[in-house]
């Protein structure tokens, strides 16, 4: 039997209107069984003080805790009994199964937030952990997060904040930079702009003429001609105004290689442009970054996107460990509070 599909209406927004983030996390973005549990417990007149612990399934770098604590503070403000919260800070290295958060409060005050808390810690910690791996591979060279284009726009800036927590020094979107406390986002010109101009030098000169002085003059040099040739053309045209060139050669042309970076550096130096930096991007991950560093590629910065944005989440779990002071948990876990000496009282 064939069922007719309902036609998709593209006339309106496909994203929900989130006027109250707390309510959003407690309701439409929460697993439905938490709402059903809340309704059942309320109907039965049960609202004990429970102790719940949260932990991850592998080593990594903790991120997302600030957002989680903000949700908990707002949610627990009206709790029927005083609440206590202990946590590790964002940026803390964590071990598998280490307790990173403990909440002791009436269950009704935070039970419906379980999906949001676990999801926030899972995604943000996964992104931050991947960013840290890339940054460590870079051996002191700057790493910029270019991954917002690889995730949904509602979470792109959150991903970028996590990348900064992992050690990246810049990110692409204004909101990501704002959340991470950066003065400004990073980025200069796309290939699309250069294609519209039809010539890299013309595009570079126009960019220089119309952008404020605090925007770095870093020019893409792989759109039309050989990268070394374009680098020299742009350097001659812009002179001391040129801060750097970006190599983003696509895989169809062999991607950016160590040899290409060395050639561009040598040709710039020979022409007297020793102060022009080299920035590489395009399919960079921790392994490729390590290869460039090990080979002594004379570059200044890496742009990394998918390797951070598509990082696997760290699987976080939460367990009730006490109910009204009585040690109680599910089979396979140990009842009672888990020793976690690194936790600090935050509420």
| SS3 of residue 52 by DSSP | strand
Q: Read off the pLDDT band of 5 (50, 70, 90).
A: very low
In the Cβ-directed half-sphere of 95, how many Cα atoms lie within 13 Å? 3
pLDDT in tens, 248-292: 999 999 999 999 999 999 999 999 999 999 999 999 999 999 999
Residues 247, 146: Cα–Cα separation, whole Å: 14
User: Which domains are present in the chain?
Assistant: 21-125+313-345 (3.20.140.10), 126-309 (3.20.20.70)
Residues 107, 49: Cα–Cα separation, whole Å: 6
Taking the alpha carbons of 73, 76, 81, 84 in that order, is the dihedral positive or negative? negative
| Predicted local distance difference test score (pLDDT) of residue 260 | 98
The answer for residues whose C-beta is within 8 angstroms of residue 324's C-beta and 6 or more apart is: 48, 49, 50
DSSP 219: E
| Predicted local distance difference test score (pLDDT) of residue 97 | 97
Residues 310, 121: Cα–Cα separation, whole Å: 15
Closest C-alpha among 117, 146, 132, 153 to residue 34: 117
Position 2 pLDDT exceeds 50: no
- Please compute the mean of the pLDDT values over residues 301-314 and round it to a whole number: 98
Strand pairing class (316-323; 49-56): antiparallel
Taking the alpha carbons of 173, 178, 180, 186 in that order, is the dihedral positive or negative? positive
Residue 219: exposed, middle, or buried by beta-carbon count in 10 A (0-12, 13-18, 19+)? Answer: buried
Q: Read off the pLDDT band of 79 (50, 70, 90).
A: confident
pLDDT in tens, 188-211: 999 999 999 999 999 999 999 999
């Amino acid at each position: 039997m064939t069922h007719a599909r309902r036609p998709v209406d593209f006339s309106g927004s496909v994203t929900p209107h989130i006027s109250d983030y707390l309510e959003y996390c407690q309701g439409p973005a929460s697993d439905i069984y938490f709402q059903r549990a809340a309704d059942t417990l309320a109907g039965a007149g049960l609202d004990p003080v429970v102790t719940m612990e949260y932990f991850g399934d592998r080593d990594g770098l903790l991120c997302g805790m600030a957002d989680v604590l903000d949700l908990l503070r707002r949610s627990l403000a009206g709790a029927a009994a005083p609440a206590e919260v202990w946590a590790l800070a964002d940026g803390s290295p964590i071990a598998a199964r280490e307790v990173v958060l403990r909440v002791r409060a009436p269950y009704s005050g935070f039970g419906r937030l379980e999906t949001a808390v676990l999801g926030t810690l899972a995604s943000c910690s996964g992104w931050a952990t991947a960013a840290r791996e890339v940054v460590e591979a870079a051996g002191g060279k700057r790493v910029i997060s270019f991954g917002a284009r690889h995730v949904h726009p509602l979470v792109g800036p959150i991903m970028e904040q996590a990348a900064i927590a992992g050690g990246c020094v810049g990110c692409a979107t204004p909101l990501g930079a704002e959340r991470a406390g950066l003065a400004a986002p990073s980025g200069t010109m796309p290939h699309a702009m250069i294609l519209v101009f039809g010539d890299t030098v013309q595009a570079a000169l126009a960019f220089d003429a119309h952008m404020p002085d605090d925007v770095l003059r870093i020019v893409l040099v792989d759109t039309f001609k050989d990268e070394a040739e374009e680098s020299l053309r742009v350097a001659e045209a812009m002179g001391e105004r040129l801060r750097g060139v970006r190599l983003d050669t696509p895989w169809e042309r062999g991607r950016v290689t160590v040899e290409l970076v060395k050639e561009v550096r040598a040709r710039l130096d020979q022409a007297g442009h020793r102060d022009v930096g080299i920035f590489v991007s395009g399919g960079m991950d921790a392994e490729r970054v390590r290869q460039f560093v090990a080979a002594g590629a004379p570059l200044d910065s890496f742009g990394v996107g998918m390797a951070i944005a598509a990082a696997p989440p760290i699987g976080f779990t939460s367990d009730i460990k006490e109910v009204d002071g009585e040690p109680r948990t599910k089979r396979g876990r140990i009842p009672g509070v888990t020793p976690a000496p690194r936790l600090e009282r935050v509420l």
